[in-house]
Structure 1
Amino acid sequence: MRLESLRIQGLRCLADVTVPLSAGVTVFVGPNGAGKTSLLEAAFLLSHARSFRAGAKDALLQRGADQLSVFAQLRHEDGQTRRLGLGRQGVRWEARVDGQVVTLSELVGECAVVCFEPGSHALIAGGAEERRRYLDWGVFHVEHEFFLAWRRYQRALKQRNSLLRASGPVPDALFLPWEAELASAAAVIDRQRQLYLEALRPHIRQVMEALLPELGVVELRYKRGWSDEADLGELLAAQRGRDLARGHTTLGSHRADWSVVFEQAPQREHLSRGQEKLTALGCVLSQAALYAERKGEWPIVCLDDLASELDKAHQAALVGRLKGAGAQVLVTGTEVPDALQDTSTRVFHVEQGTLNPLL
Structure 2
Amino acid sequence: MRLEQLRMRGLRCLTDVGITLDPAINVFVGANGAGKTSVLEAVFLLSHARSFRSGAKEALLQRGTSQLSIFAELCHADQRVCRLGLGRDGVRWEARVDGENVAIGQLVRECAVVCFEPGSHALIAGAAEERRRYLDWGVFHVEHEFLTAWRRYQRALKQRNSLLRSASPPTDELFAPWEAELAQSAHQIDLQRRAYLDLLRPRLLSSIAGLLPELGALDLRYRRGWSDELDLAQQLREQRGRDLARGHTTLGVHRADWSVTFEYAPLREHLSRGQEKLTALACMLAQAELYAEHRGEWPIVCLDDLASELDQAHQAAVVAQLTAAHAQVLLTGTELPAALQGLPARVFHVEQGQLARLL
- In the superposition, the TM-score normalised over structure 2's length comes to 0.99
Letter in 1 for 2:271: L
Letter in 2 for 1:305: D
Q: Secondary structure at the match of 1:85?
A: strand
Preserved CA contact (<8 Å) 2:22 2:345: no
Letter in 2 for 1:31: A
* Residues 52-96 of structure 1 deviation map (CA, whole Å, 9 limit, x = unaligned): 001241200000011000000000000000000000011100000
Residue matched to 2:337? 337
Q: Shift of the alpha carbon at 1:342?
A: 2.1
Residue matched to 2:174? 174
Distance 1:304 1:243 in 2: 41
2:145 counterpart of 1:145? yes
Distance 2:230 2:109 in 1: 34
5+ residue gaps, structure 2: none
Evaluate the alpha carbon distance shift between residue 308 and residue 56 of structure 1 in structure 2; reply closer, same or farther with a 3 A threshold: farther
2:279 counterpart of 1:282? no
Residue matched to 1:125? 125
Distance 1:181 1:295 in 2: 31
Residue matched to 2:68? 68
Preserved CA contact (<8 Å) 2:117 2:303: yes
Which runs of structure 2 are paired with 1:6-155 in the superposition (5 Å)?
6-155=6-155
Residue matched to 2:216? 216
Residue matched to 1:250? 250
Letter in 1 for 2:188: V
* Residues 248-295 of structure 1 deviation map (CA, whole Å, 9 limit, x = unaligned): 000000000000111111111110000000000000000000000100
Distance 1:69 1:352 in 2: 19
Preserved CA contact (<8 Å) 2:67 2:90: yes
Distance 2:192 2:264 in 1: 29
Residue matched to 2:303? 303
Q: Secondary structure at the match of 1:51?
A: coil
Structure 1 runs of 4+ off > 4 angstroms?
none
Q: Shift of the alpha carbon at 1:298?
A: 0.1
Distance 1:351 1:342 in 2: 24
Distance 1:266 1:90 in 2: 46
Identity %: 72
Residue matched to 2:346? 346
5+ residue gaps, structure 1: none
Q: Shift of the alpha carbon at 1:343?
A: 4.9
Distance 2:90 2:148 in 1: 27
Distance 1:226 1:293 in 2: 32
- In the superposition, the TM-score normalised over structure 1's length comes to 0.99
Distance 2:180 2:257 in 1: 22
Q: Shift of the alpha carbon at 1:217?
A: 0.7
Aligned residues: 359
Which runs of structure 2 are paired with 1:201-240 in the superposition (5 Å)?
201-240=201-240
Distance 2:251 2:81 in 1: 43
Distance 2:225 2:355 in 1: 46
Letter in 2 for 1:350: V
Distance 1:3 1:229 in 2: 47
Evaluate the alpha carbon distance shift between residue 126 and residue 343 of structure 1 in structure 2; reply closer, same or farther with a 3 A threshold: closer
RMSD value, Cα: 0.6
